Amino acid sequence: MTDASSEQVTIDGTPDDDTPGASRNPGLATQLLAECLAMVRHALSNGLEVSPQGLKQLNAISAANPALINNEQVQELGRIHHELARSVAPATPRAIVQLSNSAGSRLHFLGPVPLVRQLSLVSILFLLGLLGVSLSGSVNLPNLNAGLFNSQGPVLAINQLFLLCAVGLGASFSALFKLNSYVSNVTYDPRYDSSYWTHIILGIIAGVILLELLPDSLFKGSDFGKPALAMFGGFSAGVVHRILLRLVETLETMVKGSGDRASAAAQSLRTQASEQRSRVNSEIAAQLVELNKELEQSDGKGATEKLNQIIKKLLGDHRE
């Protein structure tokens, strides 16, 4: 009869088929051990609290038999992993492992993770493109302010390329700045890498929209008006998005305004008619009460005359 504590799996992901009841999910043990070791190094390097008992058990698991991990050790690794994750928070185990595994790259001086290096290279390319295109004599404030509809040919192309480089520089700077905050806090998650490239694309689109929506007269007499606005549009795509939403809301209000005013006018007329009817009914009720009193106190002649007056008044109001 085989003892459950002897069930083992290889740390590289291959189950020990010779052991009955061997675990069929060895990748979990590999991940737990790698993340625990990375978190211990991170915690010790940053002076964070680490349980001595957990450190002793982790050292025993990784050093005594690094090739095989049994089920009880996997359970113990899970407990140690939970304690370490709470100790290193807000840093995440995934980010700590990712940052610790990227130190050997030749481009490590550009950033600790591949995405940071890629965005850094893109930012450098936009910067070099901006400086290179600006060397052309066709790139000047009059040509930049001319826009798409007042220029043409190579002059338009090189000036639009200059503005696109400015927009791209602002967008890549924004994405790189945002990513750097996650890397600094050790909360970077590679699952969201595509969102940073989307951020750059949205920034470029927002910058172009912002440049073409505003009138040309806005940039007259302003040094570097359009280039600065291009970088602003690329950096703050969210602001441009909110501006467009506000324009849409304004247009909707203008379209719905006439219908709302007509509805309000009709409601006002109905209210006035209702108030007038209530006033007339109140007057008639008061006269009928007075008539009833006269009927009780007289022989009926005065009441008959009073009733005729009420009828004439009602007929007169109806004719009106």
- Residues 194, 207: Cα–Cα separation, whole Å: 20
Task: Tell whether pTM > 0.75.
Answer: no
Tell me what pLDDT residue 316 has.
56
Tell me what pLDDT residue 18 has.
44
Regarding whether 261 and 193 lie in a shared domain, the answer is no
Confidence of residue 301 (pLDDT cuts 50, 70, 90): low
Regarding whether 248 and 222 lie in a shared domain, the answer is no
Whether the upstream peptide bond of residue 90 has omega within 30° of 0, thus cis, is yes
Regarding whether 206 and 297 lie in a shared domain, the answer is no
Phi, psi of 195 (to 5 degrees): -65, -30
Please give the residue range of the domain that contains residue 132. 108-235
Query: How many domains is the chain partitioned into structurally?
Result: 3
Highest mean pLDDT among 22-36, 106-120, 217-231, 283-297: 106-120
Regarding whether 244 and 230 lie in a shared domain, the answer is no
Tell me what pLDDT residue 197 has.
93
| Mean pLDDT, residues 193-200 | 91
| 3-class DSSP assignment, residue 15 | strand
| 146 Cβ contact list (under 8 Å, min separation 6) | 156, 159, 216
Cα-trace Rg, the chain: 40
235, 253, 283 - which closes a domain: 235
Range scoring the smallest mean pLDDT among 75-84, 127-136, 274-283, 292-301: 292-301
The two counts, helices (H) then strands (E), for the chain are 11, 2
Tell me what pLDDT residue 225 has.
76
The predicted-structure confidence for 153-183, as pLDDT tens digits, reads as follows 888 899 989 999 999 999 999 999 899 888 8
Of residues 296 and 90, more confidence is placed in 90
Regarding whether 248 and 189 lie in a shared domain, the answer is no
Regarding whether 92 and 137 lie in a shared domain, the answer is no
| 34 Cβ contact list (under 8 Å, min separation 6) | 97
171, 202, 235 - which closes a domain: 235
| Mean pLDDT, residues 293-315 | 64
